[in-house]
Structure 1
Amino acid sequence: MEVFQLFITASIPVLKVLFITALGSYLALERVNILGEETRKNLNTVVFYVFSPALVGTKLAQTITYDSMIKLWFMPVNILITFIVGSILGWMLIQLARPPPHLRGLVLGCCAAGNLGNLPLIIIPALCEEKGSPFGAPEICHTYGMAYTSLSTAIGAIYIWSYVYNIVRISSKRSTQDSSHGLVEDDADKYALPCAISQQESRIEHQSKSKNSIVRIFNKLNLKTIFAPSTTGAIVGFAIGVIPQIRKTMIGEDAPLRVIQDTTNLLGNGAIPALTLIIGGNLLKGLRGSGIQKSLVVGIIIVRYVLLPLTGILITKGALKFGLVHSDPLYLFVLLLQYTLPPAMNIGTITQLFGAGENECSVILLWTYVFSSVSLTLWSAFFMWFVARVV
C-alpha cells in the first residue's frame, strides 16, 4: 500500500474527531451557550453513568467469548506496560521540570494514562470503513475492532480509577499539608512524648496499631472509584459474553431477551458523539491559560507522542517475536495505538474532584489534543504500514 494512501486513510478518523470536537467548542462559546459549563457537567454525568457503561458492556457482550479472552490475554498486560513506562517517564519529567507539589500527580497521570475510551472507539471503526485499510473486510474488521477497543476501554477504566485517581489524591493532600505546615495523621506518632511501658503493653499496643493501620487502609480505599460505571458495565459484558447460558438468552437474533441487548446498544451509541462534544467544550478552558510551566506541557507532549510510541513498537515487536500475541494486523494495531493516545479526559474529572490543578489540566489537555491531530495521523499511518509488513 502506498504511503500517501496510508496517510489519507489514517487522517479520516482523526478529522472526524476534530470536526465533532470543534462543534463542541463552538456550542460551548458564551455567545452560543448551548453547551455551557452546567450543561456539560449534566451531560457528562449522563455519559458517565449511562452511555459509557452501556457502550462498553454491550460491545464486550457481543464480541467477547471464553476463547477470545484467551487470545487477548496480552492486552491488559500491554495497557499496564503503558502505565508503567509512562509513570517512569513522568517521574523523570518531574525531576527535570520541578513542578509544584499539587501538580506532580497530574503530570504522572497525563504521562501514564492515555485516552483508551472514546478515541479508539472512533478511530478503529472509521479505519475499517476506509478502502485503503489493511485490516480486511469492513464487517469483520468492525466486529473484531469493537471487541479489541471495548476491552481496551474497560481495562483502561480500571487502571485510571485505581491508579491515577489515587496519585492525584495523594498529590493534592501532600500539597495541602505542605502549605499549612500541619502534621500528617499517619506520622503523628513521631511527635508523641516518650513514656515508660512494659514489654507486654508494648506488644499489645503494637498489635493494636497494626489493626488500626489495616482498618485505616481499607477505609481510605474508595471502591466506588475503582468500580466506576464503565468498569461495572465491563464486568456485566464479560459475564454475558463468557458464560454460554447467559449469552444464548441475550445475544443473537433468536435470543429470547435480545430486546435488552438492543436497548443497551441503542444507549451506548450515544456515548461517542456526546463524549467528543464534551471534550470540545472542556478544551475551551485551556485557552484562558493558567500560568503552567511550558516545559511541563512540552515534556508531556514528548512523552506521549515520541517516547511512548517508540516503546510500543519495541514491546509489540518483541511480543510478536516470542509468540505472546497472535499475528492479527488489527490486534497489533490496537496494541500500538494504546501507546500513542493523548491523556485520558477522566484526568480532568479527577482534578475537579480534588480541586488540584484543574486549570493546569485544561491547558495540558488543550495542547496535547491539538498536537494529537498530527501525531495520531502520522503514527496511525506508520502503524498500518508496520503491521502489514511484520505479519
Structure 2
Amino acid sequence: MGFLNLFIVALMPVLKVILITGVGLFIALDRIKLLGPDPNRHLNDLVFYVLSPALAATSLAETVTFRSFITLWFMPLNLLLAFVFGSLLAWFLIKITKTPKHLQGIVIGCCSAGNVGNLPLIMIPAVCEESNSPFGDPAVCSMHARPYASLSLAIGAIYIWSYVYGVMRLYINSNIENGSNSETLPKSSTELVVVPSSNGHNNPTSFDGTIAKMSASKGIMQRMKIISGKVDLKKVFAPTAIAAIVGFIIGIASPIRKLLIGNKAPLRVIDSSAYILGEATVPCMTLIMGANLLKGLKGSDVSRTVIIGIIGVRNILLPLMGIGVVKAALQLGLVASDNKLYQFVLMLQFAVPPAMAIGTMTQFFQLGQCETSVIMMWTYVVAAFTLTLWSTLFMWILA
C-alpha cells in the first residue's frame, strides 16, 4: 500500500469532520441563524439522550457476539490504558501550563478521550479495501473490520460517558459552586486541644496522638461526604454508557440476539429503527462542534500553550505509548501475533484526535463550549497529517 494511497485513506475521514464542522459554523452565523444558541442546545440534548445511545447500542448488538468478545477481550483493557495514560499526561500538562481551573476538566477530557469510534468505523474498512493492504485478503479483512471498529466505539462510549463524563462534571461543578473554599474543614477539627492533667499542669503529650487521630478521622469523613455529595450516579452513567451496556447484553445473549438481530428476527424493526437514529449521531455532533466554534473564533480563553500541549499529548506521546502497550501485550501472549488488523486497531486507538463527545458534554454543561471547539479544530487539522503518518508507521511495524 503506497504512502499516497494511505495518506488519502487516513485523510478522508478527518477532512469529512472538518468540512461538516464548517457547515455547522456557517449555519450558526447571525445572518443564517439555523443553529443559534437555542437550536444548538436542543440538538445537543437530542444527541445526548437519543442519537448517541442508539449508535452505541446498535453498533455493539449487531457486531459483537460472546465468541468474538472472548477473542477481543484485550481491547477494553487497551482502551482503559489509553484513557488512563491520557489523564495522567493531562494532569502533568495542567501543572506545567498552569491551566485555569475552569478549563482543567476540558483538558483532561480532550487528552484522555479519543475518537475511538467514528474514525475507526471509517478508516479500518477503507484500509481493508485497498488491494495491496498489509492485512491480507480484502474480503476477510473487511469482514473483521466492522466488529473491531464497533467494539471500539461501544467500549469507548462506556468509558467516555462514565469515567470522562464524571471527571469533567466534578471539575465543572467545583468551579460553578466555588465549593473548594467553602468546603474546607472546620477550624475546630484541626486545632490541637490541650487537656489539663489531674495534677493541674498541662500535659499535651499524652493526648496529642489520640486527638490527632480523631481530627484526621473527622477530616476524612467530611471529605468523603463532600465527594459523595458531588457524585450523582444517575448522571455519571449517562444514556450512552447505559445503551452500550444494553447493546453488549443483546449481542452476547443468543436468545435475545435472535429476537432482534438479523433479517429473520421477529423484532428486527426495533434494531433497524435504532440503527437509523444512530446514523445521525456523527453529523449532528459535528454540526454542534462547528456552531460552538463560531463562539471560539470571536474570543476564547484557551491559550496556545494549552492547545499545543493537547496536540502533543494526543498526536505524539499517546501513539508512542500505544506502540509500547501493543508490543508488551504481544510479548505476554495477550494478543494473537498473527492478527495484524487487530493489532493495528489497538495502536490506532492511541493515535486518534479527541472524541467529539467532549463538545457534547461542554454544551450539556453550558461551560467551555467555544474553548472546546477551538481545541477540536486545531487537533483535527493536525490529525489530518499525524494520523496518516502514524498509520503508515503502524503498518510498517506490523509488516
Specify the TM-score bucket, using the shorter chain as the normaliser: 0.7 to 0.9
Q: 2:271 aligns with which of 256, 261, 275?
A: 261
Change (3 A) 1:352 1:3: closer
| 2:45 equivalent in structure 1 | 45
| 1:244 equivalent in structure 2 | 254
| 2:389 equivalent in structure 1 | 378
Aligned mates of 1:119, 1:342 — CA distance in 2:
9
Aligned mates of 1:175, 1:240 — CA distance in 2:
40
| 1:190 equivalent in structure 2 | 189
Q: Is the 8 A contact 1:24 1:278 kept in 2?
A: yes
Matched, 1:274 2:301: no
1:80-95 matches, within 5 Å, as 80-95=80-95
Deviation string 1:159-207 (CA, Å, 9 cap, x unpaired) is: 23333334334434555677x98431555763689698xx9xx999999
Matched, 1:305 2:304: no
Change (3 A) 1:144 1:276: farther
Matched, 1:235 2:268: no
Change (3 A) 1:92 1:247: same
Deviation string 1:285-344 (CA, Å, 9 cap, x unpaired) is: 332232432211111111111111111111112212322113323322221121112222
Aligned mates of 1:273, 1:139 — CA distance in 2:
28
Rg comparison, structure with higher value: 2
- State the identity %: 49
Secondary structure of the residue that 2:245 maps to in structure 1? helix
Change (3 A) 1:272 1:361: closer
Question: TM-score by structure 2 length?
Answer: 0.83
Change (3 A) 1:342 1:286: farther
Aligned mates of 2:304, 2:290 — CA distance in 1:
22
Q: Is the 8 A contact 2:10 2:388 kept in 1?
A: yes
Contiguous gaps of at least 5 residues in structure 2: 196-206
1:76-155 matches, within 5 Å, as 76-131=76-131, 133-135=133-135, 140-155=140-155
| 2:351 equivalent in structure 1 | 340
Aligned mates of 1:131, 1:279 — CA distance in 2:
35
Moved more, 222-231 or 203-212: 203-212
Change (3 A) 1:153 1:308: same
| 1:26 equivalent in structure 2 | 26
Deviation string 1:43-82 (CA, Å, 9 cap, x unpaired) is: 2222222222112111211111111111111111111111
Q: Is the 8 A contact 1:157 1:228 kept in 2?
A: no
Moved more, 296-305 or 270-279: 270-279
Cα offset for 1:357?
A: 4.0
Matched, 1:362 2:362: no
Q: Is the 8 A contact 2:63 2:150 kept in 1?
A: no
Q: Is the 8 A contact 2:55 2:278 kept in 1?
A: yes
AA aligned to 2:347 is L
Moved more, 347-356 or 327-336: 347-356
Q: Is the 8 A contact 1:60 1:241 kept in 2?
A: yes
Aligned mates of 1:35, 1:54 — CA distance in 2:
23
